[in-house]
Amino acid sequence: MKFGILINEGPYQHQASDSAYQFAKAALAKGHQIYRVFFYHDGVNNANRLTEPPQDDRNVTQQWSQLAAEHGIDLVVCVAAALRRGIKDEILAPRFRISGLGQLVETGIQADRLVVFGD
Amino acid sequence: MSADDGAEAANERTERNVKRFLFVNRKAPYGTIYALEALEVVLISAAFDQDVTLVFLDDGVCQLKKGQQTKETGMKNFSPTYRALEGYDIEKLYVEKESLEHRGLTADDLLVPVKVLTTEEIGALMDQQDIVISF
Amino acid sequence: MTILHTINKSPFQTTDLDSCLRHARKGSAILLIEDAVYAAMGNTGISERVGEALKNTNVYVLGPDLDARGLERERVVRGVEIVDYGGFVDLAVEHDHVQAWV
């Protein structure tokens, strides 16, 4: 099955991105496909490669970059929400890309299920 | 209600690759950005020629309250956008009766014409969707 | 059509669970994740409400979120099923769509 995932909260402040990541990993392990992960609202902060958590903690941004590299997942950051929050191409972590909100609607159309993680 | 539209309409949707999108609005405006950014998604969805429905329940009904004046807060008043939805062919706006009543509101307090549904009817509407995006 | 409802907030803090329970139709499923896992515990102010919900809906709780919060699995309300992330995925597959009560 093809899953779309929407993440509406930033890393660390909220568990949303962690839950979505564990969900995505479990779905992949079961042979499902992640069509796209779309980052919206403060969720765009997940794409910031400048984030530096303490060494004994997980690196949420890096986790997404790695999972995307391993499984060819499309990580899309909403351009309007990103610009509002100062997330630009030059600070994007690997595998993230900035695009329009249409990509979220398109995810809804193409994926078999859309799972939302938010506040 | 268009949701009870039977097998023929379902087949037509499949042929045209149209899904039933439900946007669930449950948060009040201004205190957080969810209502504003939800509206931005709704406007974009219009360009995709999908079957779009909006429901407002819980604090979400407050998004449609008439007479919003944001000047002194310094924030942008985005409430006129709800009135523009019709121009984008987004015409299915449903508001929950119980949520309105619980907040001392009636449909007359709202800035756009809406259809008021009971909790039971909203529950049925939710059942009939393909994609639910909640903010 | 059946829905998988997900709730992620504590029932002692927000009305999300209550709102979900009022709208969830017979035969749908409710999955408690993140801070909503407190709703799954027995002997709380809302256990009875969850017990009531079990008559019409299937209620699940995410085990890893229970464990993270030190909530004992054996103290979960009887009838609420504990699942892991794989179980979450299976529930999403088994239902026609997923609705988050965020």
Give the number of beta-carbon pairs within 8 Å between A and C.
51
Quote the CA–CA distance of A11 and A61 in Å, as a whole number: 8
The CB density around residue B31, as the number of other CB atoms within 10 Å, is 10
pLDDT of residue B4: 55
Q: Is B134's CB within 8 Å of C100's CB?
A: yes
pLDDT of residue A4: 98
Amino acid at B23: F
The alpha-carbon gap from A40 to the nearest alpha carbon of chain C, in Å, equals 14
Range(s) of the domain holding residue C60: 3-100
Cα pseudo-dihedral C32, C36, C38, C41, rounded to 10: -20
Among B49, B56, B55, which residue's Cα sits nearest to residue B19?
B49
Quote the CA–CA distance of A44 and A64 in Å, as a whole number: 12
Query: Which of B26, B127, B131 shows the shortest C-beta gap to C1?
Result: B127
pLDDT of residue B99: 98
ipTM: 0.97
Quote the CA–CA distance of C40 and C71 in Å, as a whole number: 10
Segment B16-42, tens digit of pLDDT: 889 999 999 999 999 999 999 999 999
Structure tokens at B32: 């957080």
Which CATH number describes the domain made up of B18-134?
3.40.1260.10
Pairing type for strands C97-100 and C58-62 reads unpaired
Q: Which residues of chain B does A101 touch, with a Cβ-Cβ cutoff of 8 Å?
A: 40-41, 44
Percent of chain A residues past pLDDT 70, beyond the cut: 100
Amino acid at A27: A
Instruction: Read off the CATH number of the domain in which C88 is found.
Output: 3.40.1260.10
pLDDT of residue B5: 67
What phi-psi label fits residue B133: left (phi over 0), alpha (psi between -120 and 50 degrees) or beta? beta
Q: Yes or no: say if A55 and A88 are a contact pair by the CB < 8 Å rule.
A: no
Mark C47-85 as b/e (b = at least 16 C-beta within 10 Å): beebeebeeebbbbbbbbbbeeeebeeeebbeebbbbeb
Q: Is B75 on the interface with C (CB under 8 A)?
A: no
Query: Which of B119, B129, B135 shows the shortest C-beta gap to C23?
Result: B119
Q: What is the mean pLDDT of residues C14-35?
A: 97
pLDDT of residue B1: 46
Q: Is the pLDDT of residue A27 over 60?
A: yes
Burial class (CB in 10 A: 0-12, 13-18, 19+), A33: middle
Quote the CA–CA distance of C80 and C58 in Å, as a whole number: 7
Nearest chain B residue to A3 by CA distance is B131
Structure tokens at A49: 């490669």
Q: Is C19's CB within 8 Å of B57's CB?
A: yes
Range(s) of the domain holding residue A71: 2-117
In this complex, the chains that touch A, judged by 3 or more CB pairs closer than 8 A, are: B, C
Q: Which residues of chain C does A25 touch, with a Cβ-Cβ cutoff of 8 Å?
A: 85
Quote the CA–CA distance of A104 and A114 in Å, as a whole number: 10
Domains identified in chain C, total number: 1
Q: Yes or no: say if A71 and A58 are a contact pair by the CB < 8 Å rule.
A: no
Segment C28-59, tens digit of pLDDT: 999 999 999 999 999 999 999 999 999 999 99
Segment C58-83, tens digit of pLDDT: 999 999 999 999 999 999 999 999 99
Active site residues per annotation of A: 78
Segment A60-112, tens digit of pLDDT: 999 999 999 999 999 999 999 999 999 999 999 999 999 999 999 999 999 99
Confidence of residue B44 (pLDDT cuts 50, 70, 90): very high
Instruction: Read off the CATH number of the domain in which A83 is found.
Output: 3.40.1260.10
Segment B72-93, tens digit of pLDDT: 999 999 999 999 999 999 999 9
Quote the CA–CA distance of C54 and C79 in Å, as a whole number: 7
Q: Which residues contact B124 (CB under 8 A, 6 or more apart)?
A: B3, C25
Sequence ranges of the domains in chain B:
18-134
Q: Can you name the residues that pair with C61 across neighbouring β-strands?
A: C32, C82
DSSP letter, residue C16: H
The CB density around residue A25, as the number of other CB atoms within 10 Å, is 18
The whole-chain average pLDDT of chain B stands at 94
Greatest pairwise CA separation for chain A in angstroms = 39
Taking the mean position of all CA atoms in its chain, how far away is CA B120?
Answer: 17
